[in-house]
Structure 1
């Protein structure tokens, strides 16, 4: 019994001795290394000690294009499938597959022997009616016949003229002509075939100019305008870029996809493109040559507002002073965002380490600085191709797309830049210009 008490006492004493030794080993060592106020105070927070380290970048000036991407399909400017209006047997096909045809060219001839005979019969009846009318006019002048006879002969003459017109129209329907200049497709019939009215014969495609139809989200409906430029890439022709001119915007917003339909025109006089191709469309709303941009990670969203931490050189070397300022955001690009208010070219903003900056006026040190200077004539910054570079492709020659734009009253120059704000009207203009009427 006594031995158990001795063992327990020794164990408790050993544990207490070990705990005290451990406490003594750690406590004095920490105090001697960091001092009595190392765990607290402004030094630990970085206020009066070593400055907080952050990463920063300078505000760049680049050429920025305001655009939107979409997908669409190519369509013929004019397309029709020829179909007969009356039944009949084909006697002649005056075209070959894939041949270019002209407007008014007779492409298909049906058997017209019976309609031509009816035309001859109607012409003979018209001749008799004209002779009777002339004879009755002479007799009425001599009071040999009544006025009623003259009226009846005049009515018979009108009936004969109508019969002749009907016979000619029936005979004309047996000739199918090209409604416009284009290229014939692959025919579906042969000479000798008997066709019913409405049967398909061949398709005619006008592909000197092609339409590209695509849709944009409804938020762009206030930006897209007729005459704007759109860059078109085709999966079937990789590496080749084409220029299209916006010609029409659907006034109706699709309720299902909340998108607006847009139609642009591509000059295809070289016949490299075909209707039905898949297209990737980049619509250009405008461009700014001196846009100020910063890295997207520099933004600090707070509610509906955006902030950045601006750095100004501090009193000490290699130190900066922080300042939180609100900014207005413009166009966004992958990794970049345009700033339209709050910053100027050459300013420095924090990109990484914003959570370490607890207040304005803190001293920080920059470990990585994106010192890309504003673009100059010697070392221009990489930027998208300017919109003007595409203008010669659009304006050269008798572009069928631009001809359509002139018919709509849109000048070709409108496709090069977004519309500039109109100058303020003078006193005389403001008086002469009527106030807009309320549709209600």
Structure 2
């Protein structure tokens, strides 16, 4: 019986409200719930409660790290391997036979051009030169006498000519033996560093016997080969960068000064020679060299960090950020260098690209750009 009482009470209240609503005694704001209540009243005598309207919450932005696509003017490079050579290098050898009486150089030390390196015994040659010089003096006197007599008519022209021939022969003999005497003093042909000697004092040298090497290394050469396909990119004067294992992380610079006129038919490559300043003498002949030929720069290109590239099957994607949302862009890649990759199409210079956090992104995903420390940032092109 209680539900009936409740229903009667509700009808009374609604009736009073309806009267006030019809008569205009209630304001509109109050009357609207009553309208709903009247319409909703059903035969069960109960009044259903209207559900509150639902509102969809906006998705939270996903934090991502970003970078700005930059323009760059890359350089054309040709990589090769080669070896360091001395600017000048010879094996110092004996030109006159004789016994060594003195060695006047220290192995591994620098010498000046013309410095005495080795002295051979010259006593016999010196005596022979003195003998020939005496003969030369006599020939000069004979010629002067014959010339005087010929001029006065007391001598013949033939006698004068024979005396002159004797003088010339005597002078030639002195010059020849003096040259042999001079070669008993073996001297440095140019400024350089002496190598390790292979002779000692007292050794008898024959013509051609090697004493030691001498290398000029205040500047050095680098010999290397370049594939024939890169021949058109080579020219005298192009810069070269050389790295050697002896000095990790250090790069020595120079330039090409000679290109061989022929192609090696076996290796299909052309030999190239560069020259490098070497004032400290750090580069030594024979060092293995990694050579980079630096060509002329190409047109400006667009570069992004490699971390921005997202592989998808055979394609590559980049997420660009604009107006707080991410958008996929299919890109075509070019060369890679130093953690950057060339973008041939799909991204323009100045575009903001995602470099970390791509796995949670889709088309139109709201994003918040943050730095590596997680704090929000405003990306700027640097």
Alignment TM-score, normalising by the size of structure 1: 0.57
**How far apart, in 2, do the equivalents of 1:204 and 1:334 lie?**
42
Structure 1 unaligned regions, length at least 5? 1-56, 299-307, 310-316, 349-363, 372-376, 381-440
Alignment partner of 1:256 is 2:242 = no
CA contact (8 A) 1:250 1:260 kept: yes
Larger radius of gyration: 2
Alignment partner of 1:69 is 2:79 = yes
Q: How does 1:421-432 map to 2 (within 5 A)?
A: none
* Deviation of 1:244 (Å): 2.0
Q: How does 1:17-416 map to 2 (within 5 A)?
A: 60-288=70-298, 290-292=300-302, 345=349, 379-380=381-382
**How far apart, in 2, do the equivalents of 1:275 and 1:132 lie?**
58
CA contact (8 A) 1:210 1:268 kept: yes
Task: List structure 1 runs of 4+ shifted beyond 4 angstroms.
Answer: 57-60, 317-322, 329-348, 364-369
* Deviation of 1:273 (Å): 2.1
**How far apart, in 1, do the equivalents of 2:139 and 2:299 lie?**
80
**How far apart, in 1, do the equivalents of 2:194 and 2:345 lie?**
57
CA contact (8 A) 2:329 2:347 kept: no
**How far apart, in 2, do the equivalents of 1:164 and 1:274 lie?**
44
CA contact (8 A) 2:326 2:366 kept: no
* Deviation of 1:292 (Å): 3.6
Q: Deviations over 1:292-342 (max 9, x none)?
A: 4588x99xxxxxxxxx99xxxxxxx988999x9xx9x98776997768899
Change (3 A) 1:318 1:117: closer
Change (3 A) 1:321 1:168: closer
Alignment TM-score, normalising by the size of structure 2: 0.65
**How far apart, in 1, do the equivalents of 2:236 and 2:265 lie?**
23
SS of alignment partner, residue 107 of structure 1: strand
Q: Deviations over 1:176-220 (max 9, x none)?
A: 110000111111111111122222211111111111111111122
Count of aligned pairs: 290
**How far apart, in 2, do the equivalents of 1:378 and 1:176 lie?**
70
Comparing 218-227 with 255-264, greater Cα deviation is found at: 218-227
CA contact (8 A) 1:66 1:331 kept: no
